[in-house]
Structure 1
């Protein structure tokens, strides 16, 4: 299919602009999405049109159905048609000159497929379509993604094993994938470093709009940080609880991990909490593996300034000397492990109830046990 050229600005007034924020993961996307969904951001005095309760990741999941152009009678295909047409209608109904789509799951989406979706449903309603991507330095991204995948129950191994899996998949070799995005979207594709000292206006939200709009006036209400990092101790608790419920579905573990994260944040911070770190011998291997990719990113997207190379070296310099514990049993007493196991057993018991009132269900479970 021949892809049409995205529309350029047609007047000297504020061009109608669609900003597509594609993440990456672990670059602060959740905080941006919360602020946009709650209309805590004003551009030139007006909140950008966002149109999502939280994220547009559902567009990514169901968008894969439409680009295949197969099985058009499938439920997924039909759902996406309703979704895309609904978004198109929302964009058409709003007078806002700035609209935003934000979905970090686009990180692993085909850029040509996204271009097709944009051209098919949205491009004709906008003067300008910008795609913006944030890249977190390699070593820091490895640690953060290890923590994230452990949190949602997708990773049950230690950081060493996780890095080995990363090298085999090439998941954090960013330059080749970004080259594909630039080839498809050209100058409309913007790459920014996920490094706070490099953020325009001192924050991710300011940087996002300053990088995609011409001299915007930005006002941001006080925004709570979302998806903050767990301590090592809390991560091991979460990992242990996931293991006790390992027979549950992947979808359950994802939602369960996020719930544990949310509830953990409500507790007072422990003074003895340990920051999750990579140990030196592993950091040396990570540095060696990603150095060439960091150089290519710096040369291609950051004007030759060694941002990614410096961050990679800083990650190595800040590594701890020995590997941190990877299981709850290495950190907690037998009594604490017993309490965690008891909590997991109770959770599993409660999850079996889908119909009865809780007192009746628990009483019946007692009778069943007898």
Structure 2
């Protein structure tokens, strides 16, 4: 196998955090190959420099290009799920300009989570990070209007920009190598070469159950006028703490009401049929959409904190939130580092 640069472009909610953590920690030891990823494994600054943070372009790309040129490697990985929100043709332009010596060695990969799973996981993540403080119904309406469930059209844009170098993998356990996105990605990136994978406690970014999401929604609503970076830092760290402290009573995950399923079904079905026909060897997206009907519920779940937590719990959480509010105007890097703690700095 010749030298190979892997550009991992998402999607969101397809195990990107797990992959980036694995790469940053050096958990994978290929046999006879040098695997390299610049920095901490998460290169979100690259897509942001093409959109929300244009002032950081081209510095972000130049920095990654410099690291790639200075390191010794056989396989290198540049990864960010935020590329999902980039224009593929703009990414291709930046790649050709800044990674020109590697242009014929680039493979681009995207994982795609089926429609209902993506909706639910993205809503839960948005509630956790403070991007969303409304209802599942209002989130779904905006998600559909934004075209985020039009997977096939978006993927066609990546194929137009990168041709046969662009690859798609369905994010379904039974379609992933060993049922694990890490093994699936490594098999692709290393082109089947053998490797050893050390599981050193990968970050778990699984969705929180509904009572925790309701609490997050309440807290993030109180922080709504504070810097977005600080709200996101809070959501990530508080969400991690909640996952590490399992609920004392069984709690359900966020589920799609039947009425919402019926509302998205026609558009999702058309898209799933295209995905199966154009992107995967064995159909799976339509089957997953049909199976999701059996997992729907009759009535929407409440995301009101008072419907899941007693008055005394809410009193204590409100007092804690007011205390934290006094710190949320701090500079985002300092605030985030303080929340992460020394062991995660």
State the TM-score, normalizing by the size of structure 1.
0.84
**Is 2:128 the partner of 1:128?**
no
Kindly tell me: are residues 41 and 296 of structure 1, through their superposed partners in 2, closer, same or farther at Cα, counting changes over 3 Å? same
- Report whether the alignment pairs 1:239 with 2:217: yes
Shift of 1:47: 5.1
* Matched ranges for 1:207-218 at <5 A: 207-218=184-195
Q: Equivalent residue for 1:80?
A: 57
Tell me which residue corresponds to 1:321: 298
Pair 253,351 (structure 1): closer, same or farther in 2 beyond 3 Å: closer
Stretch deviating more after TM superposition (315-324 or 267-276): 267-276
In structure 2, C-alpha distance between the alignment counterparts of 1:350 and 1:100, rounded to whole Å: 36
Q: What is the CA distance between 1:82 and its match in structure 2? A: 3.4
Quote the offset at 1:124 in angstroms.
1.1
Let me know the Cα RMSD of the aligned residues.
Answer: 2.0
Once the 2 structures are TM-superposed, how far is the Cα of residue 91 of structure 1 from its aligned partner? 1.3
Q: What SS does the corresponding residue of 1:274 show, helix, strand or coil?
A: coil
Gaps of 5+ in 1: 1-13, 66-74, 355-370
Q: Specify the alignment match of 2:151 in structure 1.
A: 174
Name the counterpart of 1:23. 10
Please show how residues 1-370 of structure 1 align to structure 2 within 5 Å.
14-46=1-33, 48-64=35-51, 77=55, 79-125=56-102, 127-222=104-199, 223-303=201-281, 305-351=282-328
CA–CA distance in 2 between the matches of 1:90 and 1:148? Answer: 31
Question: Structure 2: where are the runs of 5+ without partners?
Answer: 332-345
Secondary structure of 2:58's partner? helix
Bigger mean CA deviation after superposition, 213-222 or 21-30: 213-222
Partner of 1:299, secondary structure, is helix
Please say which of residues 242-251 and 157-166 is displaced more in the overlay: 242-251
Give how far 1:275 is off: 1.7
Distance 1:271 1:115, change over 3 A: same
| Structure 1 residues 247 and 272: CA distance shift in structure 2, 3 A | same
**Partner of 2:220: helix, strand, or coil?**
helix
Distance in 2, matches of 1:309 and 1:299, equals: 10
Larger Cα-atom Rg: 1
| SS of match in other structure, 2:12 | coil
CA distance in 2, matches of 1:136, 1:288: 18
1:45 is displaced (CA, Å) by 4.7
Structure 1 pair 319/128, CA: closer, same or farther in 2 (3 Å)? Answer: same
Residue 249 (structure 1) shift: 2.0
Q: Secondary structure at the match of 2:241?
A: helix
CA separation of 1:110 and 1:323: change in aligned 2, threshold 3 A:
same
Q: Scaled by the length of structure 2, what TM-score is found?
A: 0.89
- Alpha-carbon shift at residue 273 of structure 1 (Å): 2.1
Structure 2: distance between partners of 1:353 and 1:202? 42
* Alpha carbons 2:35, 2:76 under 8 Å: kept: yes
Question: Any idea what SS the aligned residue of 1:133 has?
Answer: strand
* 2: CA distance, partners of 1:185 / 1:203: 26
The residue that corresponds to 1:9 in the other structure is: none
Partner of 1:18: helix, strand, or coil?
strand
Contact 1:16–1:127 (Cα < 8 Å) also in 2: no
> Match of 1:219, SS?
strand
Q: Contact 1:40–1:47 (CA<8 Å) still a contact in 2? A: no
Cross-structure match for 1:366: none
Compute the displacement of 1:231 (Å): 1.1
Q: Is the 8 A contact 2:50 2:57 kept in 1?
A: yes
Tell me how far apart the structure 2 counterparts of residues 284 and 76 of structure 1 sit (CA, whole Å).
39
Distance 1:265 1:92 in 2: 39
Contact 2:9–2:80 (CA under 8 A) maintained in structure 1:
yes
